């Protein structure tokens, strides 16, 4: 990094070190080890690194808001002035007027008991000295600038009344109330759906350009970095290892599935018109899904939060009861079975959960968990652990003594202990780092082939499904809206599936024109007017008929089913190669 003492320098960090003192063990852990950083006005930089590398701590150190027990050393200069004590008014002024911070969880970043307009106006009153009415008006203006629909009304709402994307916009508006010159965005879209993520990223990008605001974009997802910033800094174990221009960045190639194996084995698990409703809820979580899982084949289930994909997975593995429909396992009706028979059937359909920390009993050693699962038959613990590529010595460990990837592999070994016919993996990699993710995915694929398992892979992330699955079902609002093969290319027809693909960071990078289109209307709430297509109101192909009746799932070509007559009629303009 160039080290010019230019007067135009915004932020200058020299040899920033942070360590953490644990009062109980007396140990001192180094979190940041000598970070140098320079920002000039309008400069944008991404900070990419695995979890635990010190990214978030660095953001907090720059703001002077380190958590208790953390100490820092080094020099931080703001506009040439050295900041020393976080408690002084000088640093607070910088926080209020120079640096802005937005965080990962928009849910948690807003005070739940204050109206959102209030939280923005409060900042304006303190930093810009506006009176109550003027501050409120300005707050509404800021909400409009962050493209919150109906800002007058939205300002009067409480955070819980807004969707995740809206909350992130509100937080952005509250941060803009300080009129910051450098915006620090700490994983601002990690908790959001891919379609919402695209809009928030586009918004941040636009705001930085309009306001000539510098941006420090912290993320674990390398794909996002080149979308927002000119430079990308790689961080690892508390050090910035290298800084490269975003344009030169080469993204790792995606795993691609080449062979197509349409071996028509009979379905081992078959669901027909499956429906799930939770007690007290008025809407069906799963509203009539047909699905067949065959030995040695992987089927993907793609969808965003709240679409019912987890409910479907749990219904298939008989963790929750069915409202309607039928479920047969190797020809046996699962709904009719009770007691020991039902338990035996449950053992044949295993579920791999998203959070390996939560799916292993924290008070049970790995060995005991595997023994319990095997029920004193089947493969030994050693065999199971080596099948998932783990050292058999890990048997004596407790789950908290393992890394995230190891835990997920132990959870997988536990599933295999019952010698199941079907494995349902619900977002098995979304809590893991890139490296662990690839390892778990390739393990899943290998085990599926070797054991002839039927695999259902549930994910919000298309790229995760592509390497393994032959067929992908796209789900929205409890319904499968499209089911199509995925291989070297993925050519969906349904308007919703196409928007999902367009919102992928890779697609955005290849075709910057897509940034401009705000394909998704900002969603305040999910439209649910009873009958008709669930996408009505949010669709570019909308016709009056869409509000009247739900279109059926129709086969449009080999292995391709579609629930949208309009898209079927439309001549596909351009296919998107993935």
Partner 1 sequence: MTLPETMATVQGPSPWWRRRGLMLGLILTFGSALIGLLAPLLAPGDPAALGELSERLAAPSAQHLLGTDLLGRDVLVRLVHGARTSLLVGWVSVLAAMICGTLVGMAAGLGPRWLDRLLMSITDLFMAFPRIFLILLLVSLTAPSLMLIMAVLGVTGWMGVARLVRAETLTLREREFVAAARGLGLTPWQVAWRHILPGLWPTIIVATSLRVGGAILSESFLSYLGLGVQEPMVSWGGMIQMGRANLVDGWWLATLPGVVLALTVIGYNLLGENLREWLDPRRQGGGLDG
Partner 2 sequence: MLPWLTRRLAQSLLLIFILVSAVFFVVRLAPGDPLNQVVEEELGAGDRELIRQRLGLDGSLIEQYQRWLGSMLQGDLGTSLRQQRPVTEIIGEAMGPTLLLTLTAYGLQLILVIASALIMATRRGQPLDHAVQGIGLTFYSLPFFWLALMFVLLFSRQLGWFPAGGWESPDAAFLSVGERWLDRLHHLVLPAMTLALGAFMGPARYLRAGLDDVLAQDYILAARARGLSERRVLLRHGLRNALMPLITLLGMWLPNLLGGALVVEVVFGWPGMGRVTIEAIWARDYPVIMATTLLTGVAVVVGSTLADLLYRWADPRVRIPDLSESEGGAHDAS
Binding residues for partner 2, rule: CB under 8 A, are: 23, 60, 63, 65, 68, 87, 92-97, 99-114, 119, 122-123, 126-127, 158, 160-167, 171, 174-175, 177-178, 191-192, 285-286, 305-312, 524-525, 528
Count CB neighbours of 375 within 10 A: 10
Beta-sheet pairing, 454-459 with 298-302: parallel
530 touching partner 1, by CB under 8 A? no
Cβ atoms of 396 and 365 closer than 8 Å = yes
**Least gap, CB of 569 to partner 2 (angstroms):** 31
358 touching partner 1, by CB under 8 A? yes
Binding site partner of 87, from partner 2, partner 1, none, Cβ cut-off 5-8 A by kind: partner 2
| Token pair 């084995």 in the structure block, residue | 265
Nearer residue to partner 2 within complex by CB, 106 or 399: 106
d(CA 5, CA 196): 40
Binding site partner of 208, from partner 2, partner 1, none, Cβ cut-off 5-8 A by kind: none
Nearer residue to partner 1 within complex by CB, 233 or 360: 360
Angle between helix 116-128 and 164-176 (nearest 10): 10
**Least gap, CB of 150 to partner 1 (angstroms):** 33
Nearer residue to partner 1 within complex by CB, 360 or 500: 360
3 touching partner 1, by CB under 8 A? no
| Token pair 């295993």 in the structure block, residue | 350
Q: Which of residues 304-333 bind partner 1 (CB under 8 A)?
A: 314, 317, 319
By CB under 8 A, name the one of 147, 294, 346, 509 that touches partner 1: 346
Residues contacting residue 412 through CB under 8 Å, at least 6 positions apart: 352, 388, 428, 440, 443, 444, 447
147 touching partner 1, by CB under 8 A? no
**Least gap, CB of 157 to partner 2 (angstroms):** 9
The CA angle 213-507-163, to the nearest 5 degrees, is 60
Nearer residue to partner 1 within complex by CB, 175 or 317: 317
Nearer residue to partner 1 within complex by CB, 331 or 362: 362
Nearer residue to partner 2 within complex by CB, 295 or 356: 356
Residues contacting residue 440 through CB under 8 Å, at least 6 positions apart: 405, 408, 409, 412, 428, 429, 432
Q: Which of residues 182-211 bind partner 1 (CB under 8 A)?
A: none
d(CA 464, CA 254): 9
Tokens of 143: 């909400």
Binding mask 96-115 for partner 1 (x = CB under 8 A): --------x-----------
Give Cα 209 distance to the centre of its chain. Answer: 26
By CB under 8 A, name the one of 3, 22, 75, 333 that touches partner 1: 22
Binding site partner of 562, from partner 1, partner 2, none, Cβ cut-off 5-8 A by kind: none
Cβ atoms of 119 and 174 closer than 8 Å = yes
Binding site partner of 246, from partner 2, partner 1, none, Cβ cut-off 5-8 A by kind: none
Binding site partner of 360, from partner 1, partner 2, none, Cβ cut-off 5-8 A by kind: partner 1
**Least gap, CB of 356 to partner 1 (angstroms):** 9
Binding site partner of 502, from partner 1, partner 2, none, Cβ cut-off 5-8 A by kind: none
Nearer residue to partner 1 within complex by CB, 363 or 574: 363
Nearer residue to partner 2 within complex by CB, 86 or 467: 86
Binding site partner of 403, from partner 2, partner 1, none, Cβ cut-off 5-8 A by kind: partner 1
| 504-511 contact pairs (CB < 8 A, 24+) | 504/194, 504/462, 504/463, 504/578, 505/221, 505/223, 505/224, 505/227, 506/223, 506/251, 506/254, 506/463, 506/578, 507/576, 507/578, 508/198, 508/227, 509/223, 509/226, 509/227
Count CB neighbours of 306 within 10 A: 15
241 touching partner 1, by CB under 8 A? no
d(CA 561, CA 483): 5
**Least gap, CB of 51 to partner 2 (angstroms):** 16
Binding site partner of 560, from partner 2, partner 1, none, Cβ cut-off 5-8 A by kind: none
Residue 2, CB-side half-sphere exposure with 13 Å CA sphere: 6
Binding site partner of 350, from partner 2, partner 1, none, Cβ cut-off 5-8 A by kind: partner 1
Nearer residue to partner 2 within complex by CB, 173 or 413: 173
By CB under 8 A, name the one of 67, 112, 331, 544 that touches partner 1: 67
Cβ atoms of 44 and 224 closer than 8 Å = no
> What b/e readout covers 6-31, taking b as 16+ CB neighbours within 10 angstroms?
eeebbbbbeebbbbbeeeeeeeeeeb
Cβ atoms of 135 and 112 closer than 8 Å = no
Nearer residue to partner 2 within complex by CB, 45 or 172: 172
Angle between helix 366-374 and 404-417 (nearest 10): 20
Q: Which of residues 384-443 bind partner 1 (CB under 8 A)?
A: 400-401, 403-404, 411, 414, 417-418
User: Where does 307-365 have alpha helices with state H?
Assistant: 309-316, 339-348, 356-359
What is the three-class DSSP state of 435? helix
DSSP code of residue 238: T
d(CA 465, CA 458): 8
Stretch in the footprint of partner 1 (CB under 8 A) among 68-76, 172-180, 264-272, 486-494? 68-76
Binding site partner of 175, from partner 1, partner 2, none, Cβ cut-off 5-8 A by kind: partner 2
Nearer residue to partner 1 within complex by CB, 226 or 356: 356
| Token pair 């002035």 in the structure block, residue | 81
338 touching partner 1, by CB under 8 A? no
| Residues found near partner 1 in the complex (CB under 8 A) | 20, 22, 24-25, 27, 29, 31-32, 49, 51-58, 60, 67-70, 104, 235, 238, 314, 317, 319, 343-344, 346-347, 349-351, 353, 355, 358-364, 372-373, 375, 400-401, 403-404, 411, 414, 417-418
């Amino acid at each position: 990094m160039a080290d010019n003492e230019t007067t135009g320098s915004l932020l200058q960090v020299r040899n920033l070190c942070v360590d953490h003192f644990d009062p109980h063990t007396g140990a001192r852990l180094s979190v940041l080890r000598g970070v140098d950083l320079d920002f000039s006005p309008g400069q944008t930089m991404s900070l990419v690194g695995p979890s635990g590398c010190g990214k978030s701590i660095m953001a907090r150190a720059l703001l002077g808001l380190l958590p208790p027990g953390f100490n820092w050393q080094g020099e931080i200069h703001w506009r040439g002035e050295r900041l020393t004590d976080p408690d002084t008014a000088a640093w607070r002024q910088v926080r209020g007027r120079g640096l802005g911070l937005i965080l990962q969880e928009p849910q948690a970043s807003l005070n739940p008991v204050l109206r959102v307009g209030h939280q923005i106006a409060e900042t304006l009153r303190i930093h810009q000295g506006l009176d109550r009415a003027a501050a409120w008006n300005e707050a509404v203006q800021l909400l409009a600038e962050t493209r919150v629909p109906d800002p007058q009304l939205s300002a009067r709402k409480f955070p819980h009344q807004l969707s995740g994307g809206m909350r992130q916009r509100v937080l952005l508006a509250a941060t803009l109330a300080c009129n910051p010159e450098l915006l620090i965005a700490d994983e601002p879209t990690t908790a959001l759906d891919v379609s919402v993520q695209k809009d928030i990223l586009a918004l941040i990008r636009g705001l930085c350009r309009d306001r000539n605001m510098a941006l420090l974009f912290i993320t674990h997802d390398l794909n996002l970095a080149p979308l927002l910033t000119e430079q990308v800094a790689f961080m690892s174990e508390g050090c910035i290892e290298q800084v490269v221009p975003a344009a030169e960045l080469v993204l790792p190639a995606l795993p691609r599935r080449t062979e197509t194996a349409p071996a028509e084995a009979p379905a081992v698990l078959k669901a027909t018109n499956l429906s799930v409703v939770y007690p007290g809820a008025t809407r069906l979580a799963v509203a009539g899904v047909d699905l067949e899982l065959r030995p040695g084949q992987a089927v993907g289930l793609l969808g965003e939060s709240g679409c019912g994909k987890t409910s479907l997975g749990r219904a298939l593995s008989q963790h929750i009861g069915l409202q309607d429909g039928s479920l047969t396992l190797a020809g046996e009706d699962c709904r009719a079975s009770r007691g020991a028979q039902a338990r035996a059937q449950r053992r044949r359909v295993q579920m791999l959960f998203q959070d390996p920390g939560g799916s292993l009993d924290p008070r049970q050693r790995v060995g005991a968990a595997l023994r319990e699962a095997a029920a004193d038959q089947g493969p030994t613990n050693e065999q199971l652990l080596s099948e998932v590529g783990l050292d058999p010595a890990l048997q004596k460990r407790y789950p908290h003594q393992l890394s995230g990837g190891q835990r997920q592999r132990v959870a997988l070994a536990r599933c295999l202990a019952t010698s199941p016919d079907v494995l349902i993996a619900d977002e098995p990699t979304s809590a893991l780092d890139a490296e662990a993710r690839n390892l778990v995915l390739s393990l899943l694929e290998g085990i599926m082939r070797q054991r002839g398992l039927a695999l259902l892979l549930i994910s919000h992330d298309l790229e995760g499904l592509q390497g393994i699955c032959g067929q992908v079902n796209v789900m929205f609002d409890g319904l499968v809206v499209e089911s199509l093969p995925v291989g070297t290319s993925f050519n969906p027809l349904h308007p919703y599936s196409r928007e999902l693909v367009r919102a992928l960071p890779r697609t955005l990078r290849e075709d910057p024109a897509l940034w401009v289109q705000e394909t998704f209307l900002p969603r305040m709430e999910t439209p649910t007017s009873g009958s008709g297509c669930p996408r009505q109101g949010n669709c570019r192909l909308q016709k009056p008929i869409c509000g009247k009746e739900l279109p059926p799932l129709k086969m449009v070509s080999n292995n391709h089913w579609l629930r949208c007559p309009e898209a079927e009629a439309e001549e596909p303009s351009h296919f998107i190669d993935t």
